[in-house]
Chains A and B, each alone.
Chain A
Amino acid sequence: MSDAMTDATKTIETFVDQEYKWGFVTAIEQEIAPPGLNEDTIRLISAKKNEPEWLLQWRLKAYRHWLTMTEPTWHNIHYPPIDYQSISYYAAPKSKEGPTSLDEVDPELLRTYEKLGIPLDEQKMLAGIAVDAVFDSVSVATTFRKKLAELGIIFCPMSDAVEEHPELVRKYLGSVVPYTDNFFATLNSAVFTDGSFCYIPKGVRCPMELSTYFRINAQSTGQFERTLIIAEPGSYVSYLEGCTAPMRDENQLHAAVVELIAHDDARIKYSTIQNWYPGDKDGKGGIYNFVTKRGKCLGRNSHISWTQVETGSAITWKYPSCMLIGDNSVGEFYSVALTNNRQQADTGTKMIHIGKNTRSTIVSKGISAGYGQNTYRGGVKILKNATGARNYTQCDSLLMGDKCGAHTFPYIEVKNPTAMMEHEASTSKIGDDQIFYCNQRGISKEDAVNLIVNGFCKEVFRELPMEFAVEAQKLLSVSLEGSVG
């Protein structure tokens, strides 16, 4: 933890002033790079962030490689071509031309905040209004941060990590998702501007969910985030990403990369709630979310667990995966993906069993409503040396109405005869008779849908930290509003 970050006053500024947060000064705001991507853009990003030469070179290698790649088309999603030259890659500090008071904010958005029970100050923040109030949670976060520092836990913006812990960043950046990995990850490698860095020293159990910090912090979530979490032997961390509240964001394309490394006996629990703007009822607007998330269970008995609740974005394209390298390592993926109106999701996981006695569990719950299209895509690979590997996959789809779709593409590749594979799948529909039955017992349509949907998702919600689980339930009900006649 850097000194600057532990300083209480500056911490507050961090939360209320984005430019400071990422080390920008106000002057830079006028220096937004013109749209377009070339080597100069990358040199500019790197220079503005005072990056060491090796990182610049890494970015450039990624960029040059990206030029040789083509956008993937294997997925089950459709969108108009993205013009990568029309994006400004150095506009990280978002414009302050947002609303100045809640009166100017879309009432629809405010209604949603209210339903989610978000405090007023936080509402303002999420809506992009500059707030100078001190949050209760800020002081909490400060206390937390002191405690973290005492334990030797590093938790800071990626840019700070590059300056303050270059040896760690250099060692691990790209070690799980190499810069050549895929079109969107490679683009991210070339142009990433922000993200989080987290390091848990040997034998340390991170005493709190790294959440309060992030929830407030989430407004700074950028277009090309890069997150790196390293858990040294015997350590444990639970990391929460995202926020239940839909946020104002002008960036349509998001391409993030998250890398997790778990050493011997280490455990990383990574939970996400993704609720970016999904576009309107007719599918206008909305975020394109192309994310590469991968964890390496490097050590023996290491354990990585992904839990995600994906309700936002016009397009969700993500496959949080685990490479189970260490013997006896465990990978888990618990997912709820909801598509309503014109949303499309193509999401799932890959579990690559490399070490002996490696185990993986996949529980995927897809909910489709409106014209939503929901695809589960999973890959389970048992490599030759993975003696005694086991996988359990459960993949359920819930349909609401007759215009949505659920699709399942499970790929299984087994190269070791001792592997044990289990796969269960189901598709169900919320029926009128179920709703009527609930109605007849006094339960309204909306509550009936919530009851059924939450029942459907409970195996996943169970994996979320308590507070997050409650938020996730509320979020689903808000996201499904109006989807039943």
Chain B
Amino acid sequence: MLEITNLHVRAGNHEILKGVNLKVNAGDVHSIMGPNGSGKSTLAQVLAGRETYEVTEGEILYVGKNLLEMAPEERACEGVFMAFQYPVEIPGVGSAQFLKAALNAMRKARGLEELDAMEFLTLVKEKLKVLGVEEKLLHRSVNEGFSGGEKKRNEIFQMTLLEPRLCIMDETDSGLDIDALKVVADGVNRLRSPDRAIIVVTHYQRLLNYIIPDYVHVLLDGRIVKSGGKELALELEERGYAWVEEEVRAAGKA
């Protein structure tokens, strides 16, 4: 579904990603882990199409298409969804209105009829129920005045509603207490399916207790230096990242 080849990315004069290679198949859950500043979030943002980053080399194929040539909204309409690390507040814009605009933009891009207000409400209420989110969310402005947990839960709710093909979770666990973490993980697990891929970007292993990944990758200084199964995450939790750095350095010398 997703194939990243030799991806180099810079922000200003600073090179952040220095040749990332990654292949993600439908049905897989990949976790990308790494210490602060390793480029994890940058990778997530580049996939979503954030314009503050400049891709200097490499390519990204998504369902056979050149992702880097697509505008952020086109990517979204093609099923790329990023749950934000810091969901943005949009005062004055009601959540219902926002979600309807999003859903209909995607439906339109896929050649489907746009939903009218009644159809939309029926659908959205059904999804709210699934996640156990209160209906009053719809009457609030997008993320405005939400607690950290509410914001993250809202991201998962949007993901549930929009049914993307590729979900990218950008440090969704940061700042969550254990209960909120479980709610988020439940939501994500519910979305696991053979035709959907999920990339979980995280600093800590604890989210992976609840979302069990198929693959774990370690991103270090702009490169994926180690990949493995879910047990790699546990090892990282136990031993930190230093030993991986050590390994990389040793391999470099050899």
Residues of A within 8 A of B (CB): 428, 431-434, 436-445, 447, 451-452, 454-456, 458
Contacts and interface: CB of A to CB of B under 8 A. Distances in A.
A439 B92 CA distance: 18
A232 B60 CA distance: 72
A432 to B, nearest CB: 8
Given A440-B81, A441-B102, A444-B105, A452 B92 contact: yes
In the A-B complex, the 5 residue pairs with the closest CB atoms: A455-B92, A455-B93, A439-B72, A441-B102, A442-B76
B52 to A, nearest CB: 8
A433 B85 CA distance: 12
A481 B109 CA distance: 22
A428 B88 contact: no
B93 A442 contact: no
A428 B91 contact: yes
A441 B98 contact: yes
B92 A441 contact: no
Nearest to B83: A440
Contacts of B71: 439
Given A440-B48, A441-B76, A447 B90 contact: no
Contacts of A433: 88
B139 interface: no
B88 A434 contact: yes
Contacts of B215: none
Interface string B45-87: 0001111100000000000000000011101110001101001
Interface residues of B, number: 33
Contacts of B160: none
A439 B141 contact: no
B104 to A, nearest CB: 9
B90 A452 contact: yes
A454 B92 CA distance: 8
23 contacts: A432-B52, A434-B90, A436-B51, A436-B72, A437-B90, A438-B73, A438-B101, A438-B102, A439-B71, A440-B48, A440-B73, A440-B75, A441-B158, A442-B102, A442-B106, A442-B162, A443-B101, A443-B105, A451-B90, A451-B93, A451-B101, A452-B90, A455-B141
Given A452-B92, A455-B93, A442 B77 contact: yes
Nearest to B92: A455
Contacts of B93: 451-452, 454-455
Nearest to A457: B92
Interface of B: 48-52, 71-73, 75-77, 81-82, 84, 87-94, 97-98, 101-103, 105-106, 109, 141, 158, 162
A442 B90 contact: no
Nearest to A451: B93
Nearest to A365: B92
A202 B231 CA distance: 84
A452 B90 CA distance: 7
Contacts of A443: 73, 98, 101-102, 105
A20 B82 CA distance: 63
A455 B102 contact: no
A442 B82 contact: no
Contact of A439 (B49, B87, B97): B49
A431 B89 CA distance: 10
Contacts of B51: 436
Nearest to B76: A442
Contact of B90 (A439, A444, A455, A458): A455
Contacts of B103: 442
B99 to A, nearest CB: 8
B76 to A, nearest CB: 4
A397 to B, nearest CB: 13
Nearest to B93: A455
A413 B101 CA distance: 45
A447 B88 contact: no
Contact of B87 (A437, A454, A458): A437
B76 A440 contact: yes
Given A438-B73, A455-B91, 6 more contacts: A436-B72, A437-B88, A440-B72, A440-B75, A441-B98, A442-B102
